[in-house]
Structures are given as C-alpha cells and as structure tokens.
Amino acid sequence: MRIVPLLTAALLTLAAVPAAAQAAPHHGHDSIRYASVKGCPGKDGASRPCGQWRLVMHDGGRMALPDAQVVALDARRRSVVDSPAPIAVSGDGQRVAYFTKGGRLAVRVLGGGVTLLPKDALPRVAQNEVTLQLSDDGARLAVVIGSEKPADARIFDTATGALLGTVPADETVLGFSGDGDEVLSTIDSDDSVTDLVVRDETGEQLVRATPPQVVAANGPQALAGDGHTAAVVIRGKKTELLTYDLATDEVTGRKKIKLPAGDLSMIDWTGDTQVTLHLVSGSSRMTIVQIDTGTGAVRVRDRYTVLKDTFVFAACGG
C-alpha cells in the first residue's frame, strides 16, 4: 500500500467494508464525502487506476465523473499508467476540481454547472506533477506545480476561471485560510529555518513570521479566517493543539486533546474557534474530528471506510 499525498486529499490503495455515515451540518447528505477511483491489474499484475472517478456522497450514494481524466498524462499527453490524475473536493463537499479528458482544468458544482479554466491556465506540465486544492467553500482553487522546473502556484476564481494571483515557486502552499481569502505557505529562510507566509488571493504578501520550532516542526499548519492565526497538532506522549499568531509572533493557545487512532492527513479551520482534523487508520479508514480551540473538546464528526475496490481516493477538506 502507498499513500500519494495531495494538499487536500489522502490517496490510498487499500479498502475495507464501508462504514455507516455520520453526516454533520457542514456536510449534509447531499454533499461529497470523497472521490474514488478503482484499481485494475495491469499486464505486470500491479494495480493501476481505471474506470471513472466516482463521487461518494454522505448519504451513501455515488455519482460518476465521466468527463474527468483518470490516468495522469505527461507533458506530451502520454499516459502515466500507474499515476492517477489529480482531483480535489472542497471542504463543504459542493465542488470538485479535476482535469477533463480534453486536458482542461475544470471545477464542477454539485448539481450545477462546470467552469472550464482557460486552455493556457497552466504551462505544459505532467498532470501527476500537479496538486489541486480548493478553499472550504470552493470559491478559490490553488494549483501547485511540483515539476523539476520551478513554477509559481496559481490561484483561480472557480466561478469565472480567472487567474487571481500567484505564489512564488520557492514557497510550499499549505492551503487556504478558513474563509478562503488568504493562502498559507512555508519557505526555507537563509538561516536554515522555516518561515510561515500569508498571502492574499492576488499573491500579495500580508505577513511573514519565523515560528517557534514546536510550530515549524509539526506541520501541516492551518490558517484561520482572521488571516494570522495558525493551528498545529503536536503529537507525542501528550497530544496538544497549539495556536500561533503570525502577526505578533506569539503562541496564543495550547490545549491537551485526546484523538482517535490515526495519522493526521489534513487540518482545517472550519469556524472561528473550530479546527477539523482528518485522521487515516490502516490507509483506508478515515475519522474526522472537530476541536474547540477554546476548550480543547474533541467531537467525532464522521467515520467511513472507502469502497473496497478503491485504488486511490481524495477526501474532502474541512
């Protein structure tokens, strides 16, 4: 089994029996829980992505994405047979971003239309070198290019397909803020330390800080809707949720928390005082918890196990 990391998706290669749904207000029954593609044996016997991307809903239903590219294409549009094309689901489960079979980036609204980004939205790169991430409400799309040739990350308006701004190639995009108005990234400084950087949707730098080692060394970090408060989970003998203010360079909160089993896959702000974690167990079992940053109270929002024929899946953020 292997996990292929995306900014907003855990991609996994094993599965088990599906578990019962526990939908929450932020994710109603008519929202996407995760996108999945099945695996088929190749000539060498190894499993490879095949079929169509499937959107698995919170009510247990499924929808196909017949126009979505499944097997990634390289820069010359040749299949990279063992690599899935990138896909991302918004935190509210209402939008999905992907490459169409025609090679265009697209954002589909659940039960609505599709926005096609311009043909020249990206340079000619291999699709398996691209990571897609949607904001919690799906209004913004970040496209990160991980090729050997440095390329700026791009931020798009998903309603119009317009390019809003870019993030320098030497920064690593972590994700959008809770309200989707800012982007959080990291950059290695000249002093061999990692800085956190906040930019607005146009790419303008708003704040940059060198956080304490306990913050820098325990990523991923998530940015609150206020544009300057970051949250990070510290795992050890005692698990803690720590909040850090980039504007004042101060640790503003530290709460001991008790989490279910699982490796941290995603962390997102889903309220003014709420952080949501995605925890993966056995590479196919997902547990999603909500944490009150003021009290440290932990609530399980959802549990599920992916479809048993899954090759990889992309979980919703948020």
The b-or-e profile of 203-220 (16+ CB within 10 A means b, else e) is beeeeebebeeebbebbb
Report the distance separating Cα 305 and Cα 67, nearest Å: 26
| Reported confidence tier of residue 55, pLDDT bands at 50, 70, 90 | very high
Q: What is the pLDDT of residue 26?
A: 54
For 258, the 3-state DSSP assignment is coil
Global confidence as pTM:
0.90
Predicted confidence (pLDDT) per residue in 249-285, tens digit: 999 999 999 999 999 999 999 999 999 999 999 878 9
**Nearest alpha-carbon partner for 291 in 251, 260, 250:** 260
**pLDDT surpasses 70 at 18:** no
How far apart (Å, rounded) are the C-alpha atoms in residues 293 and 273?
5
User: pLDDT higher for 186 or 26?
Assistant: 186
pLDDT at 289 over 50: yes
Domain 4-315 has CATH 2.120.10: yes
pLDDT at position 4 over 70? no
- Cβ pair 115, 159 in contact under 8 A: yes
Tell whether the model's pLDDT for residue 13 goes beyond 90.
no
Percent of the chain with pLDDT over 90: 83
pLDDT digits (tens, 9 = 90+) for 206-248: 999 999 999 999 989 999 999 999 999 999 889 999 999 999 9
Question: Rg for the chain (alpha carbons), in Å?
Answer: 19
- Give 88's DSSP letter: E
What is d(CA 246, CA 258) in angstroms, rounded to the nearest whole number?
Answer: 26
CA distance 133 to 52: 20
- So where are the chain's domains? 4-315
Question: What is the mean pLDDT of the segment spanning 188-202?
Answer: 91
User: What average pLDDT does this structure show over 286-302?
Assistant: 97
Element (H, E) at 213: helix 213-216
Cα–Cα nearest to 296, from 223, 234, 217:
234
pLDDT tens-place string over residues 113-170 = 999 999 999 999 999 999 999 999 999 999 999 988 889 999 999 999 999 999 999 9
